[in-house]
Structure 1
Amino acid sequence: MQKVLFVCLGNICRSPMAEGLMKQYSKERGHILPIDSAGTSSWEQGNLPHPGTQAILKREGIDFSSMRSRPITDEDYYVFDWIIGMDHQNVADLIARAPQGTADKVHLYMEVVNGKQKQEIPDPWYSGQFEKTYQMLMEGMKPWLNRFKEGS
């Protein structure tokens, strides 16, 4: 079974939104996966998702009460099959800190969306555009789930 970790900078906006949405999306399609999220920093450690992310998750009927920000650990690179960063800086940071032999697990979220493979999901913490984040994440749900099912 493929294990998935979504990663952004603080783990309060994009990655917990991706975690909640993918858990729901995959479950609705009969493919339950272990999914988590983390941050490349520890700035927000222990905090709930940002209120903007909470609003989206509430709207979609997703429980976020047990979600707490945490920084990525070396162990995560061994536990998870997919480590998916939201932007180029996340990916660069993830690759730079990857234990030997694990950097190939790191991917950019939008790489599975045709015509948008190099696009980033901008941090809504700065822009306030949580709906845009939601829309971009939804574009990747089906192609990511297909990749998880294939295991490659």
Structure 2
Amino acid sequence: MKVCFVCLGNICRSTMAEFVMKSLDESGALWVESRGTSSWEQGNPIHQGTQKILIKYGIPFDVTKQSQQIKLSDLKNNDLLIAMDTENLTDLLDLSNGQWDDKIKLFVPGGVPDPWYTGDFEETYQLVMEGCRKWLSYCLNRLENVENR
């Protein structure tokens, strides 16, 4: 199953979710990536605050990862696209234009506050960890149901 987390710039929340999910998925059952809805941070590395919190909690990450903007091909090629907040959700649904809406979900009700603005990477990490545990369970159950058909 291919999963893509999406936030605004792809340097904080979605990147954090990508690497948290990869660390939780011990079976390697998922292909996990992340994107941003805007091009503002295109090509930039993971935010220092995100890197610091991942290091603090021992979450491995790719130091060479660069921000990438979401494209139509990402909507087509992923099984699940998870928006980190309601604005990201709206942007994804607009891009989908009804074609892949069933693949697009909100990470948690109310969304995850953007630490680029709040400066609170700890809060973001706690919300991301809690949400990723639930999404991992959802994805693995979905895979199991497909295999049992």
- The TM-score, its normalising length taken from structure 1, stands at 0.88
The equivalent residue for 1:115 is: none
**Pairing partner for 2:120 from 118, 129, 133:** 129
Partner of 1:80: 78
Residues 19 and 35 of structure 1 are in contact (CA less than 8 Å); yes or no, is this contact kept in structure 2? yes
Alpha carbons 1:77, 1:99 under 8 Å: kept: no
1:46 paired to 2:43: yes
User: What does residue 102 of structure 1 align with?
Assistant: 100
Q: Does 1:140 align with 2:141?
A: no
Q: 2:68 aligns with which of 67, 70, 74?
A: 70
Structure 1 Cα separation of the partners of residues 59 and 122 of structure 2: 15
Measured on the aligned residues, the alpha-carbon RMSD in Å equals 1.4
Partners of 2:8 and 2:43 lie apart in 1 by: 14
Q: For 2:101 and 2:115, how far apart are their aligned partners in 1?
A: 26
Residue identity matched to 2:8: L
Instruction: For residues 103-144 of structure 1, give each alpha carbon's deviation from its aligned partner in whole angstroms, at most 9, with x where no partner exists.
Output: 11111101xxxxxxx221000000100000000011112211
DSSP-derived class of the 1:151 partner = helix
Q: TM-score, normalised by structure 2?
A: 0.90
8 Å contact kept, 1:74–1:98: yes
Aligned residue identity for 1:94: L
Q: Can you give the 5+ residue segments of structure 2 that lack an aligned partner in the other structure?
A: 144-149
- Structure 1 alignment gaps of length 5 or more: 111-117
Work out the CA distance in 1 between the residues paired with 2:14 and 2:29: 18
How far apart are residue 67 of structure 1 and its match? Answer: 1.4
**AA in 1 matched with 2:52:** A
Residue of structure 2 equivalent to 1:113: none
